[in-house]
Amino acid sequence: MASAAGRPLADNNRAHFVLVPLMAQGHAIPMADMARLLADHGAQVSFVTTPANASRMSAFVAHAEATGLAIRLVTLRFPAVDFGLPDGCESADMLGSKDLYGNFLDACAALRDPLAAFLREEQRRPPAPSCIVSDAMHWWAAGVARELGIPRLSFNGNCGFASLVRYIVIHGNLLEHVADEDELVRFPGFPTPLELAKAKCPGSMYAPGLKEIRKKIYEEEIRCAGVAMNSFHDLEPVHIESFRRITGKKVWTVGPMCLCNQESSAMAARGNKASVDEARCLRWLDSMKEGSVIFVSFGSLACTEPQQLVELGLGLEASGKPFVWVIKAGDRLPQVEEWLAEGFEERVKDRGMIIRGWAPQLVILWHQAVGGFMTHCGWNSTIEGICAGVPMITWPHFGEQFVNERLVVDVLKTGVEVGVGGVTQWATEQKEVKVGRNAVRAALSKLMDEGIVAEEMMMRAKELGIKAREALAVGGSSHNNVNLLIQEMGNKANATD
Ligand code: UDP
């Protein structure tokens, strides 16, 4: 077990955390950060993954080894083909269609026995596993944990605000009697004003087989020993406290976990291999004025229709502002490439950098030249933007992203909406252009042009950035919570020794 100050004790007495992330970039990346954070504070970490994901994580593993952290990967075979998935399809961003999401989660559930076998083996030698932190979607890991007498914490990748919304929607059965997708839903017991159209509420996505799986996820969430949350107290104290009260769970806020990546080599090792030379990227950013660049990125899953990308590009061009624009592999359809080549890239070449594929997001976002972030509001991107201390333009596509938009715009007041009307179901194409170039230009102007509104937003964003860093610094709330988590879970392991 580690001491409260985070000093590692003798190896055999260390707390041993077994992390079981959902195989999706937006879940595996923060869990990899969690692994670093726990190991930094003296714990031993086993990170459970599958072969394709292990090879994606080679830079992360190399970095952990080089820095001497007690993290090891545990690779379990993923039975993709047995569940109707293409061979090697081992991560949600490889699915191509949300219709395969149920198959994917079922294939994940088949990792139950291999995980149990691994844990049994580990229980024979010290340090025995003291705690399992598994993604909320891995409901089946809870049964394994119970069987072996190991406490299990749940990780859902959300902040307190979105976790609370999700809890109220699900356990209050809020969507059941709302027929119209556009009908506004209200949230009894929510501590701040909030209403959302049904289609923008968590749990409204439909995919074959998902309803039954969700039921099991929700049941196991109720039974977990606590929740590890990628947020920090000062960001959303009221919502975190409400979540704690309403669920009756122990909640450890240990974020922003991305801040465990301080050197650029660690930042660049997150997720896929970057498809752009990091040094070139930094040189380009160095040549731009401080706070002048808008960074545009929509995460790893959201699918943006070609015509919508064209409008976005035209809005960026019309704004006259420097930009870094990430167009992910799944969006790089021939129509988009054709349009880029037809003149757009040439016209903006002095002030626009287009990254095709995977970007080293933290390296870019945390550069001083970046003064704004146009984001799809995935929680990781959102909290990474908060750490950067930059205001945001919110462009949610589906799921909790609409909830995070409300946190940024209404509660934190560090962002403006681009004005997304409808939901783009994950990995399906939008049927029509929903946000025109003028809306993009207007949002950019509101966010980054001179004026009292932009000025105040920027000041608030900067303050939050400072608070985020304080939370994870020695003596900060999240830093202390990591120690408490290790202490408490480690104690449980010792008690059974
Ligand atoms: N990310 C990245 N490069 C990219 C796209 C995404 O590093 O080109 C990272 C991003 O920094 C974040 C994660 O992938 O940590 C995406 O998670 P998020 O919750 O923002 O969105 P999701 O992909 O789950 O929709």
Mean pLDDT by 10 residues, the chain (497 residues): 39 90 96 96 96 92 89 96 95 87 96 98 95 97 97 96 96 89 91 94 83 92 96 98 96 97 86 90 97 97 89 97 92 83 94 95 96 98 98 95 97 96 67 85 94 95 98 98 94 45
What's the pLDDT score for residue 410?
97
Q: Catalytic one among 16, 27, 233, 239?
A: 27
Among candidates 4, 5, 8, 64, which has minimal Cα distance to 32? 64
Say if residues 105 and 213 touch (Cβ distance below 8 Å).
Answer: yes
Which residues touch 484 (CB under 8 Å, ≥6 apart)? 4, 252
Q: Is 297 in the pocket of ligand 1 (CB under 6 A)?
A: yes
Full strand arrangement of the beta sheet holding 44-49: 71-75, 44-49, 16-20, 131-135, 152-155, 226-229, 251-253
Q: Which of 22, 25, 93 to mutate to test the pocket of ligand 1 (most atoms within 8 A of CB)?
A: 25
300 C-alpha to ligand 1 centroid (Å): 5
Report the distance separating Cα 389 and Cα 465, nearest Å.
4
What's the pLDDT score for residue 430?
53
Q: Is 15 in the pocket of ligand 1 (CB under 6 A)?
A: no
Say if residues 236 and 161 touch (Cβ distance below 8 Å).
Answer: yes
Helix (H, G, I), strand (E, B), or coil: what is residue 78? coil
202 C-alpha to ligand 1 centroid (Å): 19
Cis peptide before 127 (omega within 30 of 0): yes
Q: Catalytic one among 93, 135, 234, 331?
A: 135
Q: Is 384 in the pocket of ligand 1 (CB under 6 A)?
A: yes
Q: Is 399 in the pocket of ligand 1 (CB under 6 A)?
A: no
Alpha helices by DSSP H, listed for 57-209, are 58-66, 101-109, 112-123, 140-148, 160-171
What's the pLDDT score for residue 3?
34
| Residue located nearest, by CA, to atom 13 of ligand 1 | 26
Q: Is 26 in the pocket of ligand 1 (CB under 6 A)?
A: yes
Q: Is 300 in the pocket of ligand 1 (CB under 6 A)?
A: yes
Pairing of strands 184-186, 195-197: antiparallel
10 C-alpha to ligand 1 centroid (Å): 36
Alpha helices by DSSP H, listed for 149-195, are 160-171
Which residues touch 408 (CB under 8 Å, ≥6 apart)? 377, 382, 392, 394, 414, 415
Report the distance separating Cα 287 and Cα 282, nearest Å.
9
Say if residues 203 and 214 touch (Cβ distance below 8 Å).
Answer: yes
Q: Is 326 in the pocket of ligand 1 (CB under 6 A)?
A: yes
131 C-alpha to ligand 1 centroid (Å): 27
Q: Give the single-character DSSP code of 200.
A: G
Say if residues 479 and 472 touch (Cβ distance below 8 Å).
Answer: yes
Report the distance separating Cα 178 and Cα 233, nearest Å.
33
| Residue located nearest, by CA, to atom 6 of ligand 1 | 299
Partners of 132 in beta bridges: 18, 152
Q: Which of 278, 300, 379 to mutate to test the pocket of ligand 1 (most atoms within 8 A of CB)?
A: 300
Buried b (16+ CB within 10 A) or exposed e, 232-252: bbbbbeebbebbbebbebebb
Q: Examine the residue annotation and report whether 135 is marked as an active-site residue of this protein.
A: yes
Q: Is 33 in the pocket of ligand 1 (CB under 6 A)?
A: no
Q: Is 427 in the pocket of ligand 1 (CB under 6 A)?
A: no
346 class by beta-carbon count within 10 Å (0-12 exposed, 13-18 middle, 19+ buried): exposed
Give this prediction's pTM: 0.95
Helix (H, G, I), strand (E, B), or coil: what is residue 415? strand
25 C-alpha to ligand 1 centroid (Å): 6
Among candidates 130, 143, 135, which has minimal Cα distance to 485? 130
488 C-alpha to ligand 1 centroid (Å): 31
Cis peptide before 30 (omega within 30 of 0): no
Report the distance separating Cα 111 and Cα 372, nearest Å.
41
Q: Examine the residue annotation and report whether 138 is marked as an active-site residue of this protein.
A: no
What's the pLDDT score for residue 426?
64
301 C-alpha to ligand 1 centroid (Å): 8
| Residue located nearest, by CA, to atom 5 of ligand 1 | 299
Say if residues 397 and 298 touch (Cβ distance below 8 Å).
Answer: yes
346 C-alpha to ligand 1 centroid (Å): 28
